[in-house]
Structure 1
């Protein structure tokens, strides 16, 4: 039996909102290192240094605003719970069979796939039916199109905040890369005694710490970003990629372009924002998390 890495989600309860403070602390260190210690004072020196400082500060603040907007959008947005009383379209007898207590023979039948319809899914922990692509989280209960429970946002990443999560990764990578590159000359000067003697020990320490933290985050976030780009291109989630069989083409794989639209919508003006156009929300049920189009002629089983 494969080792299920998702069963340890219950341990995430103890982390709580402390991780939000950690994120804000890293942002504060970066802000102090870039704006207060280095490029803020550089604005007053005149010449080419002022132009460089102005460019760094404008881009830094623009990315910071988008990063924080996307981050708190993931934190406060409901990832998508199952509507109360939701039921799949099926005969009453089939639905009743899903909720009956399991006998030993029934369990054997379920394991063999002979008794349970793959289209009807029932969560015995939440005592409710599960829509397609819905999974149970030990912390957040049943979540529509659940990707994973993220300790950094103290929330599940699901159908309704997945786009904001991806944009958070994207803007975090850009911001941390910018900070690391902009602090690199000061980091080198830290070891070569070229740094201005007027710099305080606290300023030097913050510059050193900011460079190391942002470089580490840029490299780690890049890995997650590449992984999720691959998942979006196949219209799958982290859990689905873990569970499904790679030998068959995924039933929700509509092609890369349509897969992208299933997450980001069709309006280009909203692609880089953690929001959707009202028209997309109205005409694309997948953005609400309850109904997903499948490839023509596919009768895939639900995992």
Structure 2
């Protein structure tokens, strides 16, 4: 009876994961559709015609909306597709811990020594697939897990410093694309806020007893774009605040859920925590890219090694 229940649950989870993968492509189309509606409402239906025909102060106001609108839209799409197409971080096939923390050795183990030690840990029941101090092992991938690595059931593999699987980007958010995801949230909030504010006078005009210029299709698109962007601005703001808090503590969504003690050995202070996600080169902080120098000298940006607080081994 228990076996049949377990089989049914496993099958349900498999179907759920398969549905999420299929839904992902539709979510990309939905994002592009919302961008298209917003672009039409702001540029084609309202501020574009004003910029080209009216002149004077009204044209300057239209320019003041259209320039930041296009800049933010470009940064938003750049960040979005960087998250979509960038691998969040996969475990190298031959990866093994650089040192045997269990027996206090500082030098890396040889292949034979490491294999024998893993076998001993398995026999003793000390090889774990949880977030403990011991060597971590994924039974689904049948491989060792680096620090802060978790298995994603949707992607079907382990992801370095996994934060969560996001259906909006059809990808996991992990060590190698977390910065890009944060920038996507940031520019989405700025862009949707700008669209909401720029369309607010036109939205108010719907409820006034005045004649509104434009075809019914343009008016309907303007109304829809205002409502959608207002909803997204408010919802994204909540996610943005949550992830800013996580970055400040150098933790992920999964780790914040799993932690059982207030002490966190990866919390090095807000400045260093920020740099472990965004790098140290300020020129790259607001674009979805890293400098070659940061990638070379900061192992945390590659997802396999993370500095910890000295003399603190409690997670």
Query: TM-score w.r.t. structure 2 length?
Result: 0.86
Q: Does 1:225 align with 2:225?
A: no
Match of 1:56 in 2: 65
Write the distance in 2 (CA, Å) between the matches of 1:291 and 1:175: 35
CA contact (8 A) 1:167 1:274 kept: yes
Match of 2:9 in 1: none
Per-residue CA deviations over 1:95-129 (Å, capped at 9, x if unaligned) read: 2245x4x8xx94xx779x9xx97230000100110
**Partner of residue 174 from structure 1, selected from 190, 200, 206:** 190
Alignment of 1:280-295 (within 5 A): 280-295=294-309
Write the distance in 2 (CA, Å) between the matches of 1:62 and 1:181: 16
Counterparts in 2 of 1:117 and 1:47: CA distance versus 1, 3 Å? closer
Aligned-pair distance for 1:10? Answer: 5.7
Aligned-pair distance for 1:40? Answer: 0.4
CA contact (8 A) 1:10 1:138 kept: no
Match of 2:55 in 1: 46
Per-residue CA deviations over 1:171-206 (Å, capped at 9, x if unaligned) read: 000000000000000000122143533x10000000
Aligned-pair distance for 1:46? Answer: 1.3
CA contact (8 A) 2:127 2:136 kept: no
**Partner of residue 74 from structure 1, selected from 79, 83, 91:** 83
**Partner of residue 215 from structure 1, selected from 225, 230, 235:** 230
Q: Does 1:94 align with 2:109?
A: no
Write the distance in 1 (CA, Å) between the matches of 2:288 and 2:120: 41
Match of 2:257 in 1: 242
Q: State the aligned residue count.
A: 285
Match of 1:201 in 2: 216
Alignment of 1:145-164 (within 5 A): 145-164=161-180
**Please, what is the CA RMSD of the aligned residues?**
2.1
Match of 1:3 in 2: none
**Partner of residue 149 from structure 2, selected from 134, 139, 159:** 134
Question: Is the partner of 1:83 in helix, strand or coil?
Answer: coil
CA contact (8 A) 2:17 2:154 kept: yes
Match of 2:7 in 1: none
Per-residue CA deviations over 1:143-180 (Å, capped at 9, x if unaligned) read: 00000000000000000000000000000000000000
CA contact (8 A) 2:150 2:162 kept: yes
Structure 2 residues not aligned, in runs of 5+: 1-12, 101-112
Query: TM-score w.r.t. structure 1 length?
Result: 0.89
Write the distance in 1 (CA, Å) between the matches of 2:304 and 2:18: 25
> Which is worse superposed, 89-98 or 29-38?
89-98
CA contact (8 A) 1:82 1:144 kept: yes
Match of 2:8 in 1: none
> Hey, which bits of structure 1, 4+ residues long, moved more than 4 A?
6-11
